[in-house]
Structure 1
Amino acid sequence: MAEANNTTVTLQVHRFTPRAERAERARGGSPFARKSSPFAGGSDSATRRRPRGKQWVQEYTIPARPEDTVLDCLLAVKRTVDPTLAFRYSCGHGMCGSDAVSINGTPTLLCTATIRDWVKKPIDLPQVDDEGFRHIGSGAEDAINGMGEHEDDGSLQSEQSKPTGENSSLGVIELAALPGFPPQRDLIADIDPMLNQIRKLTPYLEADGVLATTSEGKVDAYEYLQHPEQLAKYETLSNCIACGVCEGACPVFAGGDAFIGPAALIWASRFVNDSRDVKAMERMDAIDTADGVAACQSVRACSRHCPRGIDVGEEMWQIVAKVRER
């Protein structure tokens, strides 16, 4: 981000620092607790228990441009303001899915979210007085008249010229860890529960294992060729990067750790629809449970902001219908 930039953005970051576990918990908890109890010690209960620690909201105001991504802003904070801020990213191009967080209450990726698209301008923020009441009146009208307009070049300009060197605020962006998962630190969520659910459904191709040969006894190199129609049935599903955005938006998954979740069902559907896979019936049996397709309430919130363009809600409906019709 350019140093000469005269616009700023304020990041409201919901931070979290876990509390160190006490020694008796690390050794297994109470000796009187039953192992079948969710309060008993062990790895299972440790996974289910939401981490405890210090939570607070911290604001960072930094120079930024409308075309900058939220990840750009966090990197600027990390490098120049607060090195203790924790967040996760890898490729920075929306391909790995490691930087999924909640932006203004909506799960999405940091690297694909631009300030222009996500910032809450001052007019969007509620006007609150000293007693905590929100007012709508002449003040709101004045704010509307004083707000800048979007120009054709995409930059935010003010109708009234500002003195040279004076910073103008683009607005506020609220950041929190991905909902539906236990937080680890600041904007980093523990997505292992989702990955474990995916692993349970054997997310890899299972062929019959028979090596096809030609009439001449040679290996048939065309054994697994598919028609375009066969490829189209699962090609879109193969774009899933297991970022957790769909699960963070799912109210059923967020309600507990029993529902297998939309991401795992998408991965199962990808192989159920693959003509080369011979375990389709077994795969559908595995998800035909109370915590599988039966738990989906067809809210379709999982379709919002999928970074790979998958209509998760529609694909969920398709796999549910296929399981019930088999």
Structure 2
Amino acid sequence: MSGIGNATATVTIRVKRFAPRPERPNRHASSALRKSASPFGSTRKRPRGKQWSQEYTLRIHPHDTVLDCLLTIKRTLDPTLAFRYSCGHGMCGSDAVAVNGTPTLLCTARVSDYAKQLPHNAHNDGFRRTATVNASAAAHDFATSNGSAIEATENASTNSASAIDVNAAESTAASTQSAPDLGIIELAPLPGFPVQRDLIADIDPMLDQIKRLQPYLQADGKLATTREGKVDVFEYLQKPEQLAKYELLSNCIACGVCEGSCPVFAGGEAFIGPAALVMASRFLNDSRDNAAQQRLDAIDTADGIAACQSVRACGRQCPRGIDVGEEMWQLTTAVRER
């Protein structure tokens, strides 16, 4: 964790956690009690499992990121906490969550920007607070949530012999009493997606919608040739002004922040989502692509660009600086004027 040697403040991380449970067999699958299909098409099944909120108090540097805090929790306090990340530098887009209700990337969210103070009467709200986590108890809870008491005993003995030093965690918690308190940061899974575990959301619906719009170049195959008819270059050449039309759009990392901010998306059942439409806009603005009409036909559907309500919430937190709302408006205009 960066800056841990010069830690100057404490912060409380409140995580909305979820532990899935095995699906029960459907006893009414072939009986008259079976629920009929939804008139709105396929519906997502709500994941079954245990949901609770848990708090961790850490001593950190104000310029640390929320991802730094979660890594410290994972390594020193609670190894059962689940979250997704990869590069840690805002390039892969794999660590999108809701920070204080706002979809963003863990690796770009700084503690000093998101920590907030709560009123004094808001501390007795029923949340379980965890300054230090007993390794054996954490392992037991983790295994019990998966329905295996025997595995809980094995995990408890394994974690007690691991590198998790409970005494060190207690001394860290004691040192936080003298440090200034920055407040609390609330973390939840990315809205609009099914939850797999804790802060890990299933983004497959978004990726399926992107694949549906064929996010790859479809050129006519004509290459520049010399006067003798020989191939001169093997690249599809463009002018700088042609590149400028889609260069920013090509920086989309499919993180899902725009999807989580969109009040219409909700898993892609009624709206294909802004991420897929940004990919379509990227190739519609590419002078090398020759499938413009097919792409416009693909988005001119009931769940395509017509479902966009122009709320423009999708572009407020884009980590790549794309004005997603403006792109939605440009696509709407292109569909209407063709």
> TM class by shorter-chain length?
0.7 to 0.9
Match of 2:182 among 153, 156, 170: 170
Correspondence for 1:30: 29
1:192 maps to 2:192: no
Do the aligned residues in 2 keep the contact of 1:6 with 1:165 (CA within 8 Å)? no
Change (3 A) 1:129 1:280: closer
Report the residue type matching 1:30 in the other structure: A
Distance 1:222 1:88 in 2: 39
Displacement of 1:54 in angstroms is: 0.7
| CA positional deviation for 1:216 | 1.5
> What are the ranges of 5 or more consecutive residues in structure 2 without an aligned counterpart?
126-174
Structure 1 pair 130/307, CA: closer, same or farther in 2 (3 Å)? closer
Cα distance change of structure 1 residues 308 and 131 upon mapping to structure 2, 3 Å threshold: closer
Query: C-alpha distance in 2, partners of 1:82/1:222?
Result: 54
Cα contact 2:223–2:233 (8 A) shared by 1: no
1:59 aligned partner, one-letter code: E
Deviation for aligned residue 1:177 = 0.3
* Pairing partner for 1:103 from 99, 103, 124: 99
For residues 238 and 9 of structure 1, what CA distance do their matches in structure 2 show? 37
TM-score normalised by length of structure 2: 0.78
Match in the other structure for 1:152: none
Q: Which residue of 2 aligns with 1:5?
A: 7
Cα distance in 2 for residues equivalent to 1:225 and 1:35: 57
Aligned length: 285
How far apart, in 1, do the equivalents of 2:330 and 2:235 lie? 28
Q: What is aligned with 1:142?
A: none
What is the CA distance between 1:37 and its match in structure 2? Answer: 2.3
AA aligned to 2:80 is: T
Would you say the 8 A contact 2:6–2:61 is kept in 1?
no
1:126 to 107, 119, 122: 119
Task: Give the deviation of 1:50 after TM superposition.
Answer: 2.1
How far apart in 2 are the matches of 1:164 and 1:275? Answer: 58
1:129-144 equivalence runs, <5 A: none
Report the Cα offset of residue 215 of structure 1. 2.1
Structure 2 vs 1, CA of residues 256 and 231 (structure 1 numbering), >3 Å: closer, same or farther?
closer
Q: Would you identify which runs of 4 or more consecutive aligned residues in structure 1 move more than 4 Å?
A: 32-36, 129-132
Pick which of 198-207 and 6-15 moved more. 6-15
Residues 274-322 of structure 1: CA deviation (Å, up to 9, x unaligned): 1100100100010001110100000000011100000111111111111
Secondary structure of the residue aligned to 1:254 is coil
Deviations 1:209-258 (A, max 9, x none): 34553221321316511111111111110010000000000000127622
- The Cα of 1:119 is off from its aligned counterpart by 0.7
For the Cα contact (< 8 Å) 2:74–2:81, is it kept in 1? Answer: yes
Residues 151-172 of structure 1: per-residue CA shift (max 9 Å, x gap): xxxxxxxxxxxx9981221110
Partner of 1:207: 219
- In the other structure, the counterpart of 1:286 is 298
Structure 1 unaligned runs (5+)? Answer: 133-162
